[in-house]
Amino acid sequence: MSGWSVEIDARTCIGTGMCVGAAPKYFQRKSSKSVPVHDHVEPDEDLLDAAFACPAEAIRVRDEATGDVLVPEA
């Protein structure tokens, strides 16, 4: 496995729409929250940039090969 996994914690997400606006390819609106379009994606800096910009730190991106958490930073 060489891809990344993307999750949004629905309890933490406050629905600012930040990620949907920054990277509509990877995030979409669902009722008042944001959800990933795909749970598994190919590595892409645009996704990381959008994930880092979440004011609620609700987005988690993991490297599936190494298990490293790329976002949020420790």
Residues that bind another protein (CB under 8 A): 15-18, 20-24, 29, 32, 46, 49-50, 52-57, 72-73
Name every residue whose Cβ is closer than 8 Å to that of residue 51 and which is 6 or more positions away in sequence.
6, 19, 59, 60, 61, 70, 71
**Shortest distance, position 40 Cβ to another protein, whole Å:** 22
Task: Please say which residue, 16 or 62, places its beta carbon nearer to another protein.
Answer: 16
Task: Please say which residue, 7 or 46, places its beta carbon nearer to another protein.
Answer: 46
- Nearest-angstrom CA–CA distance, 3 and 43: 6
Task: Please say which residue, 42 or 73, places its beta carbon nearer to another protein.
Answer: 73
**Shortest distance, position 1 Cβ to another protein, whole Å:** 26
What is the per-residue DSSP string for 44-68?
-HHHHHHHHT-TT--EEEEETTT--
